Structure 1
C-alpha cells in the first residue's frame, strides 16, 4: 500500500524536485501551487502527509495547517517547509499542529529522512488502497467513495479489502470465505458470500453505466477490476 503525500508549495522548481524524490521512494504524490488548491486536494484525497510551505498565495500555510487540525484529522502528518528560520517561528509552527519543520534551503535527502521518521511514528494509521475511485483504509476500517465514508459491516469490509488487495485476480468463493468465516461450512456459506457481494455492489456501484468494480467470473469467483 502506497502512502499518499500532498505537497503544497508555490515554487514550481521546489515542488517538482520534492515530487521526484518522493516518487523515487514509492510514495503517491499530489501537488498544489497554493493554499486553496491544497485545501481542495486534501478534502478530496485524504493524504497521509502534507508537506506545507508557509508563504502561500490565497490561503497561507499557517491557516491551512490550523484548518487541517480543525477537521479532527490527527492521523495526518504535517511537515512545514519554509524560509522562516527563527526559533520562535519554528515553535509557533509546531504549536499550530505541525509534526516537523524543515528550513529552506534544504537537502532532499534530509527531507526524505524526516518524512520517513514522521510516518514511522504515525503514518501506519493512514495507509490506504486507492483504486477505481474507491479508497479503503484498513487501519481505520473506512471505505471512502466520492469523499464520503460508506458504512460497511465487518464482513463487507473484509471482503472488499481482500478484493482490493488483489486487484485483477480471480478469487474463489472458498478463498473469500476464509477471509470472513475461517471455520464455516463452505457449502452453506457460498450463498452468504454472494449475498455480501450483492450488498457491496449496492454500496459502491453508484453509476449504472460504469463497468462493475466487482466482477463475477462465472464458475470461478469474483475479482476487483482496477
Structure 2
C-alpha cells in the first residue's frame, strides 16, 4: 500500500462523468476519492485531506459554490480546486474564480484536457501535496502537523520528527543510531539512545489512544520500523 501519493477528491453527482474522470486520473498515478453529493464531499474532504478537488457546480445537498467557499474559508485550505459545470457563461466562471477555484472547465470536456488542467494547477499548489497519509493518519512536514481523520495530534518536536522519519522509511528497520543522527541534524541537540526510547514510548502512547500504535514496531536488537499492513 503506497504511503505517498497525490490524492484527488472528485465531487460529481453524474456517475458516468465521475467514473470517467477517475479512470483517466488513476492512469496518471493519482489516488482518486469519489463523492456523489456535496455533503459526502465535505465528509470525505475532512477524512482524507486531499491534494486536489474537482468540484461540480450543481450538487445535491451542498452546491459547488458553497462547498468551494467552505474549503477556502472554514478549512483555510491551499488545496487546488477545479470547478466543473454545464454552464459556460462568463459570469459563472468569474463567480467560481472569485470564491476560490483555481480553474474552471465546462462540460463536455475531454479527459486529457482535465488531466492537463489538474497538472497545471498542481504545479502552483504542490506544497499542499508534500504530505504522507495512511489509514486517516496524515503528516505534513512543511507545517509540522500530524492529524488523524482531520483532528490534530499534539506531538512534541522530537515525536514529530521520529514519526516522520519512520514513515518516510516505511518498511525499513531504522536503528537508534540512525534516529540519533537524524534528530541531531534536525534539532542540533544532543540526544541519547535512552532518550530515543522514551520519545518512541511517548509517541506510541499518543498513537495508542487512536488505536494506531501498531504502525510502529520494535525490531529487537535492531531498532524500529513503520509497518503498513
Query: Normalised by the size of structure 1, how large is the TM-score?
Result: 0.92
Q: How far apart are residue 38 of structure 1 and its match? A: 0.5
3-state DSSP of counterpart to 1:181 = helix
CA deviation map 1:115-165 (0-9, x unaligned) = 111111012233221124411111221101242111222221111111111
Distance 1:191 1:55 in 2: 57
- Is the CA contact (8 Å cut-off) linking 1:21 and 1:108 kept in structure 2? yes
- Residue 57 of structure 2 is matched in structure 1 by 54
- Residue 97 of structure 2 is matched in structure 1 by 94
Q: How far apart are residue 98 of structure 1 and its match? A: 0.5
Is 1:5–2:29 an aligned residue pair? Answer: no
3-state DSSP of counterpart to 2:83 = strand
3-state DSSP of counterpart to 2:29 = coil
- Residue 204 of structure 2 is matched in structure 1 by 201
Query: Normalised by the size of structure 2, how large is the TM-score?
Result: 0.91
CA deviation map 1:193-221 (0-9, x unaligned) = 1111011111112256x762211110010
1:71-220 superposed matches below 5 A: 71-182=74-185, 189-206=192-209, 212-220=214-222
Gaps of 5+ in 1: none
Distance 2:136 2:227 in 1: 11
Choose which of 3, 14, 33 in structure 1 pairs with 2:17.
14
Gaps of 5+ in 2: none
Is 1:221–2:212 an aligned residue pair? Answer: no
Q: How far apart are residue 62 of structure 1 and its match? A: 0.9
Equivalent pairs counted in the alignment come to 223
Choose which of 56, 62, 67 in structure 2 pairs with 1:64.
67
| Deviation larger for 35-44 or 123-132 | 123-132
